[in-house]
Amino acid sequence: MRASNFSISDTLCAGILAVCVAAPASAQDFSISSERLANIEEPLATEIAGVTIEAAGVVDARLDYDLEGMFDDEDVIDPGVIGNFSVNASTQLGNRWDVGVAYFGQYENGLGVSGYTDNIAGFISGAYGTVLAGEVMNLVREETRRVRGIGNADLRFDDALGAAQNWGGGYVGQFGPSRLSALVDEDGNYDVGFVYERPSGKAGYRYAARFTDAPFVAADGITQFDSNALTGTFEYMYSRSILNVGAGYELLQAGPIDAQRWFVSGGWQRQWGAFTTSVEGHFGEIEGQAEKSGAFGLSYGFARGLSLNLGVNHSDAQVEVGGVQILDEAETSATTSVRFGF
């Protein structure tokens, strides 16, 4: 049988744009992973001895093309595969609280990366929300972010640079059209978010705001900044289209270095029958030095869970402040893949 609307992996919007732009009212609907690939299908579910077990997965076979390397006589094509799965088990206590464990794992091989990563968290849900403990560092980000691009689109820098680390505790609660989220990790870093969503005739809109106090390791791999960031997003949905915009301000501090960062991102998505497309752009500055990125995504659904995907992504940011290389990235690439979700 198919389960209800609980998934710990990220929600991908292809084919169901109007559904996935915001978290539903269920207190158990949360994400502990920030991976871009996810199953758009509802998870499979079964019940064993009073415990509901839900599972879903994705396999993505891909080819990555280094578009800049084409002009430098370099090896520009890199095959790879990404596979992930989510499993959660929960049961209801006599007081009607739901108690369970959520797990997300992903294996990736390609572009010089080969390995397995995972996240796990336990949770207790009731009428006033869900309390979590475990690897919940992505909880608030996934609640408040702009909807991601389609297919293999990957817009770089579209977030605060600082991020919570390691294990911690979190909370998610739904109160009418408003949704609250918060987390604190074991080092005292914290993240809080607020989302407000309402329909408006045949359309709908969604506001989100987030404040982050967390560390950021610069591109030099050594210098660690303390980050304080305020970000916000707005999304407007009509028929099969989504327009969205995000903006943020961030203060980075490390010893005598104080660097101010601001950014603006925007995107448009549209479903055309079996095709879904997205276009996104980002511009920001750190102490007057620019960071830029863009992404185009396309997905074509062959059958339930099976799709052909394309992404063209560009990023450019070389930022140095006080002798520290904060960002160092310049890349233009394209990715095609066949994806199957189950």
Residue type for 164, please? Answer: A
Tens of pLDDT, residue by residue over 207-265, are 999 999 999 999 999 999 999 999 999 999 998 999 999 999 999 999 999 999 999 99
C-alpha to C-alpha distance for 49 and 94, rounded to whole angstroms: 15
- Encoding tokens for residue 74? 């370099």
- Kindly state the average pLDDT of the residues 46-67: 91
- Kindly state the average pLDDT of the residues 29-46: 77
- Encoding tokens for residue 27? 């207190």
Q: How confident is the model at residue 70 (pLDDT cuts 50, 70, 90)?
A: low
C-alpha to C-alpha distance for 259 and 250, rounded to whole angstroms: 8
Tens of pLDDT, residue by residue over 130-162, are 999 999 999 999 999 999 999 999 999 999 999
Query: How many Cβ atoms sit within 10 Å of the Cβ of residue 2?
Result: 9
C-alpha to C-alpha distance for 209 and 39, rounded to whole angstroms: 26
Q: What is the DSSP secondary-structure string of 122-190? A: EEEEETTEEEEEES-TTHHHHHHSPPPPSTT---TT-S-S----SSEEEEEEEETTEEEEEEEETTS-E
Task: Compute φ and ψ for 5, nearest 5 degrees.
Answer: -95, 45
C-alpha to C-alpha distance for 266 and 36, rounded to whole angstroms: 18
- Encoding tokens for residue 225? 């900044």
- Kindly state the average pLDDT of the residues 114-130: 92
C-alpha to C-alpha distance for 159 and 325, rounded to whole angstroms: 19
Q: What is this structure's pTM?
A: 0.85
The count of C-alpha atoms lying within 13 angstroms of the C-alpha of 219, restricted to the half-sphere facing its C-beta, is: 14
Tens of pLDDT, residue by residue over 270-316, are 999 999 999 999 999 999 999 999 999 999 998 888 999 999 999 99
Contacts of 204 (CB under 8 A, 6+ apart): 18, 21, 197, 198, 236, 237, 238
- Residue 17: the pLDDT is 35
Tens of pLDDT, residue by residue over 260-273, are 999 999 999 999 99
